[in-house]
Chains A and B, each alone.
Chain A
């Protein structure tokens, strides 16, 4: 178990790389990074999820927070989510608000 998150800013694209387990104990970390991302007024928020092994509804709430916090035109991309993480996103109906995508190297 464990959790790590790294923030990267390039122009108006903010990338957050996530690894480990995103649950009620670790979600505040992601939420604070999304808060920092907001300060850069990004048009694109990319969450790299290839190393994220678990996500509970606390992670879903973080995505909802991002959706409600960033400018309406901002695109939120979930990159390379593992199958069970992607399943949680879909079951919550959040795939209507974010884009699930695969990177070139994961194909």
Chain B
């Protein structure tokens, strides 16, 4: 998956903490404001997926006394909105299939990642220079 670099917004730097979720929500809202056809419902999808990624880092890879930092970049293309979330936590691929065994979507973490994969049209993960890089892409057209 590739995303256009044009029309990219300023970067957002936040600690991987639930306290930072309002700033992330505001960032996604500003991104959505730039796209007239991105209605509230689909904007919520992008916000929800992004929050789940950050909450996952906060819960599993970020000690409360020394939170990891997350950098968020976002932009729009002709037909999509995208967010790229970069963090320095240990490797974690949110696109990886759940561990073998019966599906348990209600377990801690399981439901969040299930929602990430369900809410956006593409989730792409790369490990780059010691960082996790997760890109979420939401198409404008109603599915």
**Chain A residues with a Cβ under 8 A of chain B:** 1, 21, 23-25, 54, 56-58, 60-61, 64, 83-84, 88, 91-94
A25–B25 Cα distance when bound, in Å, is 12
Question: Is B44 a contact of A25 with CB atoms below 8 Å?
Answer: no
The answer on a CB contact under 8 Å between B112 and A25 is no
Number of A-B contacts (CB under 8 A): 57
CB pair A23 B51 closer than 8 Å: yes
The residues of B that contact A24 with a CB separation of less than 8 Å are 18, 21, 51, 55
User: In the bound complex, do residue A56 and residue B51 qualify as a contact, i.e. CB atoms below 8 Å apart?
Assistant: yes
Are A56 and B106 in contact, CB atoms less than 8 angstroms apart? no
B68 to chain A, nearest CB (A): 16
1/0 per residue B93-121: CB within 8 Å of A? 00000000000011010011011001100
Q: Is the CB of A25 within 8 A of B19?
A: yes
21 A-B contacts (beta carbon < 8 Å): A21-B25, A24-B21, A24-B51, A25-B21, A54-B47, A54-B48, A56-B48, A56-B51, A57-B52, A57-B55, A57-B112, A60-B115, A61-B108, A64-B111, A84-B41, A84-B44, A88-B115, A91-B115, A92-B105, A92-B115, A93-B106
